[in-house]
């Protein structure tokens, strides 16, 4: 039986920098970055009925149904247990996105005997989010993110990190962006109180340089992770 894990969530609207920050701080904290959006993008790269089903939600900017999302997350956690029995915990990015998922997560953690120690909330105004999302570019191969104007790859269309193709995400269209931000306000933002009431929520100002945000997250988490 593996030892008890300590997990952290990162919550914020699309474009608030969750993926960027999670990728930067997770290794510094000894946590594994687990993003449900990345799990779905990997799944969609395969063929078959499941990939088609996920694509039908993803490309509209709609949420994938909860039961499927929870199954995909659980299978990733089980894979980590098998491949890396000593890992400390995960930094969950993009999950939970609604109350049903938050309750499913509580049940999973209870069953595993794991603990959630903090929920990082990235706070960014809506106009900044839209500006960031409409110029966002991602590497199709390694998931690194760029921005057409604020942070372009050194060679256009080619990832600095792995040389893979840098493209616009299929759900970063104006319609899908508006829909995803609305879903966040309606379904995900109410979770902030859910975690605040339990003393887990930590607000971090996300509208400032990337390394300043990372430093603030690391400083806030250090006492909770005993780092």
- Burial string for 94-130 (b: 16+ CB within 10 Å, else e) reads bbbbbeebbebbeeebeebebebbbbbbbebeeeebb
Find the binder of ligand AMP among 8, 12, 14, 132 (CB under 6 A): 14
Find the binder of ligand AMP among 7, 33, 97, 136 (CB under 6 A): 97
- 13: contact with ligand AMP by CB under 6 A: no
At its nearest, how many Å lie between ligand AMP and the CB of residue 62? 6
**Is 4 a known active-site residue?**
no
Bridge partners of residue 112, in order along the sequence: none
Identity of the residue, 62 or 200, whose beta carbon is nearer to ligand AMP in the bound complex = 62
**Is 148 a known active-site residue?**
no
> Hey, what are 85's tokens?
């029995």
The phi, psi pair for 200, rounded to 5°, reads: -100, -20
- 94: contact with ligand AMP by CB under 6 A: yes
Cis peptide before 96 (omega within 30 of 0): yes
Q: What is the dihedral of CA 49, 179, 152, 127, to 10 degrees?
A: -170
At its nearest, how many Å lie between ligand AMP and the CB of residue 41? 7
Residue span 22-51 as binding mask against ligand AMP, x where in contact by CB under 6 A, dash where not: --------------xx--x-----------
**Is 208 a known active-site residue?**
no
At its nearest, how many Å lie between ligand AMP and the CB of residue 98? 7
Q: Which of positions 50-89 make contact with ligand AMP (CB under 6 A)?
A: 57-58, 61-64, 69
- 180: contact with ligand AMP by CB under 6 A: yes
At its nearest, how many Å lie between ligand AMP and the CB of residue 95? 4
The Cα angle at residue 134 between residues 160 and 205, in degrees rounded to 5? 85
- 146: contact with ligand AMP by CB under 6 A: no
With CB atoms as reference, the residue minimizing the distance to ligand AMP is 37
Is residue 224 helix, strand or coil? helix
Bridge partners of residue 34, in order along the sequence: 92
**Is 136 a known active-site residue?**
yes
Rounded to the nearest angstrom, the gap between the alpha carbon of residue 96 and the centroid of all alpha carbons in its chain is: 9
Q: CA 44, CA 39: separation in Å to the nearest integer?
A: 9
Q: How far is CA 197 from CA 74, 191, 201, in A?
A: 26, 10, 8
**Is 110 a known active-site residue?**
no
Query: Which residues bind to ligand AMP, rule: CB under 6 A?
Result: 14, 36-37, 40, 57-58, 61-64, 69, 94-95, 97, 101, 171, 180
Positions marked catalytic: 18, 97, 136, 169, 180
């Amino acid at each position: 039986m593996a030892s008890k894990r300590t997990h952290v969530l990162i919550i914020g609207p699309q474009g608030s920098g969750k993926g960027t920050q999670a990728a930067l701080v997770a290794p510094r904290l000894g946590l594994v970055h687990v993003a449900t959006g990345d799990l779905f993008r990997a799944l969609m790269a395969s063929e078959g009925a499941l990939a088609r089903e996920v694509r039908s939600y993803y490309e509209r900017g709609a949420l994938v149904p909860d039961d499927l999302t929870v199954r995909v997350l659980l299978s990733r956690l089980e894979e980590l247990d098998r491949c890396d029995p000593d890992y400390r915990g995960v930094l969950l990015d993009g999950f939970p996105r609604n109350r049903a998922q938050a309750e499913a997560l509580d049940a999973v953690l209870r069953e595993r005997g794991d603990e959630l120690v903090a929920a990082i909330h990235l706070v960014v105004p809506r106009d900044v989010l839209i500006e960031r999302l409409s110029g966002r570019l991602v590497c199709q191969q390694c998931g690194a993110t760029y921005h057409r104007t604020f942070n372009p790859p050194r060679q256009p269309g080619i990832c600095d990190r792995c040389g893979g193709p840098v493209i616009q995400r299929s759900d970063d269209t104006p319609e899908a962006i508006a829909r995803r931000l609305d879903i966040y306000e309606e379904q995900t933002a109410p979770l902030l109180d859910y975690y605040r009431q339990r003393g887990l929520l930590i607000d971090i100002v996300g509208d400032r340089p990337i390394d300043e945000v990372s430093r603030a997250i690391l400083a806030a988490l250090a006492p909770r992770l005993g780092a």
